[in-house]
Amino acid sequence: MTAFEETLARMTTPEVPQLKHQALLADAISRGKSKSALSFWWMSIPLYVIAMLFMKSAYVRDSTLRSNLHEFFTRERYVAPLLFVVAPVILILINAASIRRIHFLSGSPGPATLLRIAWSNVAVIIVSATILIIYFL
Amino acid sequence: MNLRWFRRSGIVFVPTSIPGWLILAAGVAFCIYAFIDADSRSHSVSDTLMNFVFELLIAGAAYSLVAYLTGGSGRGRRETDGR
């Protein structure tokens, strides 16, 4: 009888080893990291162009990074806005949505905690914003 | 439809299925062709590398986009893990 009562008590005790929102949060963080990995590849193209033009300005006399960038933007009328405006804006929007989701699922933590969880997404946003600024300078 | 052709490892998407390996092989083949093409048109080693790296990055970005959309995002992982 005692054993039966113990079994019954054990059966009626709700067992939730992992909370639903924890699984959702882990999934959101994993997706956020995948998005930042994807973003890294798309950001690397304009960053490579900037690095290439920077080297050109260092080695070619009477040329500056700014003049080389302007020359590149004028020459590549369609590719340059795609790489320096469209791609960064899309990356900023995607990563901001990812951060917003992580912020919501982790119970609206402070900036330091959020930065620790979603640092890669924040880094992507900062670099994308820098690329945008360089284009419009 | 939950595809699991790739899994993410750091910033790289690793194939986990035959279609994934085929996509990676196509990407590598494109990179080899891009290198030979850049080398045939260039005048120096640095010229080859500059043009090749640009095409390598474009191929990498396209590959990562395909990998992300076909399973690298982690979408549907919970259902397949049986949780």
Residue B73 near residue A31 (C-beta atoms within 8 A): yes
Read off the pLDDT of residues A32-60 as tens digits, 9 standing for 90 and up: 888 888 889 999 999 999 999 999 899 88
- Which parts of chain B fold into alpha helices (H)? 18-41, 45-67, 77-81
Number of domains in chain A: 1
Range of the domain at A132: 21-136
Whole-angstrom Cα distance, residue A57 to residue A71?
A: 12
Whole-angstrom Cα distance, residue A32 to residue A36?
A: 6
Q: How many CB pairs lie under 8 A apart between chains A and B?
A: 54
Nearest chain A residue (CA) to B50: A52
ipTM confidence:
0.78
Read off the pLDDT of residues A60-72 as tens digits, 9 standing for 90 and up: 888 888 898 999 8
Q: Where are the domains of chain B?
A: 15-75
Q: Is A68 part of any domain?
A: yes
> Rounded to two decimals, what is the model's pTM?
0.79
Whole-angstrom Cα distance, residue A121 to residue A128?
A: 11
B26/chain A closest Cα distance in angstroms:
18
Instruction: Give rounded-to-5 percent helix, strand, coil for chain A.
Output: 85, 0, 15
